[in-house]
């Protein structure tokens, strides 16, 4: 009986394991990409400000972590948006910002669940339209844990 309970516990916890931005890049549910006529630093700062405003500051019943990582020598940066759970952190989005040339930057938004696509597309509105839209509906109302990791 103890072995069965232990096995069930292992399955439960493994289905809800922490995910990192790198893991999300390797196995996303989807990627939303677009280009912007601006330097990477401007794009990165705008995306980070909006992500913090939308997720870290607006969350009422969920706790989100928004982290930015800038690499000026490579002219690229990344932003991770994760939800803090009781036993783990779940990376929901990773936003990569890469300077292509002197006048254009590429943005790739990796998302963890198919239902996050609309929220991922909102990043383009943040950058191009300076929109304050915060499309969190599908992110906030999801279930706590999946054992079969549906996408």
Domain assignment present for 6: no
Domain assignment present for 147: no
More confident residue, 41 or 57: 41
State the alpha helices, DSSP H only, in 52-116: none
Residue 48, Cα to own-chain centre: how many angstroms? 11
Quick one: pLDDT band at residue 77, thresholds 50, 70, 90?
very high
Domain assignment present for 8: no
Residue 31 lies in domain:
18-140
- β-pairing, 105-111 vs 30-36, is antiparallel
User: What pLDDT, on a 0 to 100 scale, did the predictor assign at position 147?
Assistant: 34
pTM of the model: 0.78
Domain assignment present for 7: no
State the alpha helices, DSSP H only, in 1-151: 2-14, 21-26, 40-51, 117-129, 137-140
Place of tokens 């995910």: 19
Q: Are 45 and 117 in contact (CB under 8 A)?
A: no
- List the CATH number of the domain containing 80: 3.30.310
The dihedral built from the CA positions of residue 55, 120, 13 and 22, taken in this order, carries a sign that is negative
Query: How high is the mean pLDDT of the chain?
Result: 80
Domain assignment present for 5: no
Domain assignment present for 10: no
In angstroms, the CA 140 to CA 137 distance is 6
């Amino acid at each position: 009986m103890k072995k069965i309970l232990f096995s069930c516990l292992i399955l439960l916890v493994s289905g809800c394991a922490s995910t990192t931005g790198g893991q999300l890049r390797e196995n996303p549910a989807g990627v939303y990409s677009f280009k912007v006529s601006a330097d990477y630093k401007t794009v990165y700062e705008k995306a980070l400000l909006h992500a913090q405003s939308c997720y870290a500051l607006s969350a009422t019943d969920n706790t989100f972590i928004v982290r930015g990582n800038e690499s000026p020598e490579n002219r690229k940066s990344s932003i991770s948006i994760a939800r803090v759970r009781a036993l783990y952190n779940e990376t929901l989005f990773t936003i990569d910002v890469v300077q292509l040339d002197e006048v254009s930057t590429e943005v790739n938004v990796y998302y963890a669940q198919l239902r996050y696509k609309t929220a991922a597309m909102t990043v383009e509105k943040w950058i191009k339209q300076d929109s304050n839209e915060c499309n969190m509906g599908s992110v906030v109302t999801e279930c706590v844990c999946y054992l079969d990791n549906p996408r």
